[in-house]
């Protein structure tokens, strides 16, 4: 594992959250509608008003996504992004037979975040 490969991985992974954050902030009603149509929408309602959750998750994904992109507090950024992605995945993706692709995409993204939580990317080998 080289420093450059880790940087590229980190930048590519962060892009997903930066794009999603804009979608959550700009298309709030559409995102809330997806929650309302989800089989496990009760998870979202357990945490609060879906509209506020969508806006808050968009802001959190943007800030933590920028941190991941910049390599700033990478472990914390990845952990925060994971804490946002898990309830989104459980609410919207799990239980939807038509969204198995997005479910497994989110599982792969969780794997990428786990990589940055476990590995100190600031100490990767320089090659």
Tokens encoding 16 = 């997903």
DSSP 98: G
Average pLDDT over residues 7-17: 96
Decide if pLDDT at 122 tops 80. Answer: no
Phi first, then psi: give them for residue 68, nearest 5 degrees. Answer: -65, -45
Q: Where are the domains of the chain?
A: 3-123
Look at residues 29, 26, 122 and name the one whose alpha carbon lies nearest to residue 78.
122
Q: How far is CA 94 from the centre of its chain?
A: 15
Per-residue pLDDT band at 17 (split at 50, 70, 90)? very high
pLDDT tens by residue, 53-67: 999 999 999 999 999
Look at residues 60, 54, 19 and name the one whose alpha carbon lies nearest to residue 38.
54
CB 8 within 8 A of CB 124: no
Looking at residue 26, what is its pLDDT?
95
């Amino acid at each position: 594992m080289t420093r450059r490969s880790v940087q590229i991985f980190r930048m590519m992974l962060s892009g997903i959250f930066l794009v999603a954050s804009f979608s959550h902030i700009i298309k709030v009603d559409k995102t809330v509608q997806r929650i309302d149509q989800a089989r496990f929408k009760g998870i979202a309602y357990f945490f609060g008003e879906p509209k506020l959750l969508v806006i808050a998750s968009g802001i959190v994904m943007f800030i933590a996504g920028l941190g991941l992109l910049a390599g700033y507090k990478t472990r914390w950024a990845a952990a925060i992004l994971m804490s946002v992605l898990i309830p989104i995945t459980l609410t919207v993706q799990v239980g939807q037979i038509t969204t198995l692709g997005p479910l497994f995409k989110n599982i792969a993204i969780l794997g990428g975040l786990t990589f940055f939580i476990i590995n100190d990317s600031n100490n990767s080998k320089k090659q």
